[in-house]
Amino acid sequence: MSQEDDGGRMPEDLEAVLEAAEEAEQAEEAEKGRYDAPPLPPALILGVVGLLCGFATIALVWLSERSCERFRDTTNCGALGLPLLVLIVVVTMVLGGLALSRLAMPHPKLIPFLGVAFMVALVIAFLTGHLDSPWILAVVPALTAITFLLADLVARLLERADA
């Protein structure tokens, strides 16, 4: 068979091969930003992300204190203290949510919300008088990792209650 007999069309099997090649190229482009790695235990992922969120909270609080000290000549931010604290909490929740969603964890928005909220509640309730101590640099990240694990437990319990 020549192409003139087919009216200038390509054979059907060649068209199918070309379409499959195009689909494979599109799939490769879609997966470019994805990394293949061995699966990690979810508790380890949550613990590490919790630690990182705890360190992020410490760093953001330290930066806000240094900013207030620079502009107001005191570490007390006055009326800006509460809005700065709320901003720090929101930024920490967003960073945790981005990390968990990037790592394909279930409930990537709920767990950071609950984990950071639990951590803030515990720090305000029990550690307010000790925030100037050097050991708080280790306690807050460890506490945040634990609260992320608790938040995962709460999220799974809520998921079971919905089912």
Would residue 7 be called left, alpha or beta, if left means φ above 0 and alpha means ψ between -120 and 50 degrees? Answer: left
For a pLDDT cut of 90, what percent of the chain falls above it? Answer: 58
pLDDT of residue 29: 64
Q: Supply the pTM of this predicted model.
A: 0.75
Query: Given this model, what pLDDT does residue 33 score?
Result: 55
Domains of the chain by residue range? 42-162
Alpha-carbon distance of 46 to 149, in angstroms, equals 6
Secondary element (H or E) of residue 76? none
134-158: per-residue pLDDT in tens?
A: 999 999 999 999 999 999 999 999 9
User: Is the separation of the CB atoms in 53 and 95 below 8 Å?
Assistant: yes
Write down the pLDDT at residue 27: 67
Residue 26: what residue type?
Q
Query: pLDDT per residue over 21-73, tens digit each?
Result: 788 777 666 566 555 556 889 999 999 999 999 999 999 999 998 988 888 88
Nearest CA among 155, 122, 146, 124 for reference residue 53: 146
